[in-house]
């Protein structure tokens, strides 16, 4: 089959690889209907993290189950499924606690580990899915082609934006500022509105993303950053800062912006993968009682809750996809994301 392989920084190729095969009894083979390129895929692409040898890549996909192992009870051939960006059993203590990203049996796509051999990256034609009953969420059919984009966001960005909002404790009537206007930041706006926030401030300088932010529920746009950004957020929030701030970038600067834009007693919900590990200034947090909560988003547990609103059209996160390319053009997908010509790219095998 064809799959995307990263060979080195800026060297993305679609190549023939071995077809996946069932190996554990609890796994499934899924034919990929759509996959995407994630902001975190750009780290090896840009050389921020090193690529020591060519390896498969991608971790967000939806597809149709082709085959299941004898121990798979819930998922069956023909099911349309959403795969989160990681593998989990959905039964261990951490999964039960809502933190399936810390599943005691789980793991990551594109890795060769205790999950019964290699688990394919998602940017390919087929994927072997370990722990299929725990990992995959079944979408009752029929599934229209126009639903693909929205469903695909549940594999990562919509669930991740939702996790930022949940972690920050967004509730009805809150003022919320969102730092980051990528796909996750835009989905965080959807999530904040869905949870009842009434003032939603999108921090963005990008005209098209500003427009989508407004469409998703942002009530205000702040283009300023740093001190000026803090001042602008305060001007919109009784001069104290936002009740909740959703940090969807992961740099030292974005976290600093988030912490300082939060009111005393407020909370930062963060999902931006800490790039280089910015440390948090606890002294400043202490004096103002600003909390920080979040992390790698346990999106598997959010799929069932968000699915009805996605299918009904009540929320339309699929609009973050502004470019759809065939799998064969994966290299162009990466380039478009890297150069910010696209917010989020969908790949169709």
Q: Which residues contact a second copy (rule: CB under 8 A)?
A: 93-94, 97-99, 101-102, 167, 238-240, 255, 263-265, 267, 270, 273-274, 277-283, 285-296, 298
Q: Which is nearer to a second copy, 104 or 208 (CB)?
A: 104
CA distances from residue 211 to 122, 204, 207, 247, 248 in whole angstroms, order as listed: 30, 10, 6, 20, 18
When the beta carbons of 117 and 169 are compared against a second copy, the nearer one is 169
Q: Do the beta carbons of residue 178 and residue 201 sit within 8 Å? A: yes
* Nearer of residues 43 and 117 to a second copy, judged by Cβ: 43
Residue 53 beta carbon to a second copy: minimum distance, rounded to whole angstroms: 24
Structure tokens at 29: 């083979």
Q: In angstroms, rounded to a whole number, what is the distance separating the alpha carbons of residues 60 and 333? A: 14
Closer residue to a second copy in complex, CB, 117/274: 274
Nearest to 267 by CA among 294, 249, 287, 302: 294
Strand partners, 348: 326
> How near is the Cβ of 230 to a second copy at its closest, in Å?
15
Q: Which is nearer to a second copy, 69 or 272 (CB)?
A: 272
Shortest distance, position 263 Cβ to a second copy, whole Å = 7
| Coil, strand or helix at 67 | strand
CA distances from 240 to 131, 179, 200, 232, 343 (A): 47, 17, 15, 11, 32
Nearest approach, Cβ of 104 to a second copy (angstroms)? 8
Cβ contact 303:103 at 8 Å: no
| CA pair distance 338, 335, nearest whole angstrom | 5
- The CB-of-78 to a second copy minimum distance in angstroms stands at 34
Considering the complex, state which of residue 259 and residue 330 has its C-beta at the smaller distance from a second copy. Answer: 259
**How far apart are CB 280 and a second copy at their closest, in Å?**
4
- Quickly tell me which residue has 């996946």 as its tokens: 20
Strands (E), 115-215: 117-118, 126-129, 137-139, 175-179, 199-203
What values do phi and psi take at 327, rounded to 5?
-50, -40
CB of 68 to a second copy, least distance (A): 29
Give the residue with the Cβ less far from a second copy, 98 or 117.
Answer: 98
């Amino acid at each position: 089959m064809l799959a995307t392989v990263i060979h080195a920084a800026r060297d993305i190729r679609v190549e023939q690889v071995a077809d996946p095969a069932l190996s554990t009894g609890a796994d499934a083979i899924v034919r990929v209907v759509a996959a995407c390129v994630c902001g975190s895929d750009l780290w090896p692409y840009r050389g921020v993290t090193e690529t020591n040898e060519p390896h498969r890549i991608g971790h967000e996909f939806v597809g149709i189950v082709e085959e299941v192992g004898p121990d798979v009870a819930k998922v069956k051939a023909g099911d349309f499924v959403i795969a989160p960006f990681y593998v989990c059993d959905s039964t261990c203590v951490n999964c039960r606690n809502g933190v399936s990203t810390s599943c005691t049996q789980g793991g990551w796509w594109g890795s060769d580990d205790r999950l019964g051999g290699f688990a394919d990256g998602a940017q390919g034609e087929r994927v072997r899915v370990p722990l299929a009953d725990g990992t995959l969420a079944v979408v009752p059919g029929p599934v229209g082609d126009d639903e693909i984009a929205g469903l695909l966001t549940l594999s990562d960005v919509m669930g991740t934006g939702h996790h930022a909002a949940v972690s920050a404790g967004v509730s009805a009537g809150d003022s919320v500022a969102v730092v980051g206007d990528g796909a996750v930041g835009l989905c965080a706006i959807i999530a904040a509105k869905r949870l009842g926030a009434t003032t939603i401030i999108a921090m963005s300088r990008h005209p098209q993303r500003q427009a989508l932010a407004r469409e998703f529920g942002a009530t205000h746009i702040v283009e300023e950053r740093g001190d000026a950004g803090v001042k602008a957020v305060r001007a919109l929030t009784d001069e104290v800062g936002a009740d909740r701030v959703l940090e969807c970038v992961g740099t030292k600067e974005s976290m600093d912006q988030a912490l300082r834009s939060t009111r005393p007693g407020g909370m930062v919900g963060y999902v931006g993968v800490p790039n280089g590990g910015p440390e948090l200034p606890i002294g400043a947090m202490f004096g103002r009682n600003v909390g920080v909560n979040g992390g790698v988003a346990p999106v598997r547990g959010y799929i069932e809750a968000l699915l009805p609103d996605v299918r009904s059209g009540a929320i339309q996160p699929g609009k973050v996809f502004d470019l759809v390319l065939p799998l064969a053009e994966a290299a162009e997908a990466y380039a478009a994301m890297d150069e910010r010509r696209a917010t989020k790219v969908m790949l169709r095998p």
